[in-house]
Amino acid sequence: MSEFQTLAEAVVKGDIKTAVAETQSALDAGSKVQSILDKGLIAAMDEVGDRYSKGLIFVPQMLRSAKTMKECMKLLQPFFREGDITSKGKVLIGTVKGDLHDIGKNLVAMMMEGAGFEIIDLGVDVPPEKFVQKAQEVEPDIVGMSALLSTTMPSMPKTIEALLKAGVRGKVKVMIGGAPVTEKYAQEIKADSYASDAGSAVSKAKELLGVS
Ligand code: B12
């Protein structure tokens, strides 16, 4: 079992106090932030998802684990900063219509911000019209969409279509992600890029805009 077993178990149980203390002591012990995230927090959320699929836990428990993870992420956030850098580009990001999952989207936003991107976060349950309206207002370089449910993924092509109709599509790069989203899906719906995790989201965003 991983060195972050106690942390992962606390997140699965939704024990905020223990999880926060474990995250802090892992940081104090010099553990890598990426390892704490991958082996502790994200591994725990995968376990939570498994338990939910098997009918062992229900939505309130998932919610409690999500809250626990968010509290731990607050401690990790300062470490995502790559240094004082001028803005690498503007990213408008949100979770698509009908979808309330925001942990992954927040993580992507945090890491991108840490890497020097300016983030405008539309939150969750964002309809295509809202992406369009905000894109017209803030003129981002990238529009990022997150979906965690197979039922909400179709809102991604709908948003791309809406950007196209509004004449905005040509001015922005579209990046998508979320557990059920794939590279193939990104190609199908003509998104410019897909990333499976927050780390690669940062490098793909840099690639898209040709910045280092
Ligand atoms: C926590 C959770 C919840 C919480 C969400 C709280 C919150 N504030 O986010 C609550 C309790 C609200 C919830 C509700 C529901 N959930 Co839920 N949930 C989860 C769970 C356990 C964890 C998700 C998570 O946070 N993962 C950790 C993060 C870090 O990972 P991530 O989101 O994948 O993000 C990473 C990448 O995908 C990527 N990424 C994400 N977004 C983006 C965006 C861009 C632009 C890019 C480039 C990359 C990128 O980078 C991220 C960081 O590395 C998952 C199980 C799972 N393993 O995914 C189920 C899961 C997603 N939920 C599920 C379901 C069914 C539901 C409900 C329908 C349950 C119900 N009957 O009510 C509702 C739907 C509510 C709604 N309308 O959205 C199913 C979805 C099945 C499917 N494929 O459609 C899952 C897979 C559980 C399961 N195994 O059945 N859920």
Q: What is the pLDDT of residues 89-126, one digit of tens each?
A: 999 999 999 999 999 999 999 889 888 899 999 999 99
Distance between CA atoms of residues 212 and 62, nearest Å: 37
Does any ligand 1 atom lie closer than 6 A to the CB of residue 179? yes
Nearest atom within ligand 1 for CA of residue 148: 61
Indicate whether 86 pLDDT > 70.
no
Q: Of the given ranges (15-24, 59-68, 85-94, 124-133), which has the lowest mean pLDDT? A: 85-94
Which residues of the chain form CATH 1.10.1240.10? 2-79
Which residues of the chain form CATH 3.40.50.280? 90-209
Does any ligand 1 atom lie closer than 6 A to the CB of residue 12? no
Q: Which two tokens stand for residue 104?
A: 């992954």
Distances (CA, A) of 157 to 110, 154, 163, 164, 189: 25, 6, 10, 10, 6
**% of the chain beyond a pLDDT of 70:** 97
Using CA positions, which residue lies closest to atom 68 of ligand 1? 149
Does any ligand 1 atom lie closer than 6 A to the CB of residue 108? yes
Fold of 2-79: 1.10.1240
Cα 177 to averaged position of ligand 1 atoms, centre (Å): 11
Residue 212's pLDDT band (cuts 50, 70, 90): confident
Does any ligand 1 atom lie closer than 6 A to the CB of residue 142? no
Residue 170: Cβ within 10 Å count:
7
Residue 34: Cβ within 10 Å count:
14
Read off the pLDDT of residues 65-82 as tens digits, 9 standing for 90 and up: 999 999 999 999 888 876
* Helix/strand/coil percentages in the chain, nearest 5: 55, 10, 30
Specify the CATH architecture of the domain 90-209: 3-Layer(aba) Sandwich (3.40)
Residue 151's pLDDT band (cuts 50, 70, 90): very high
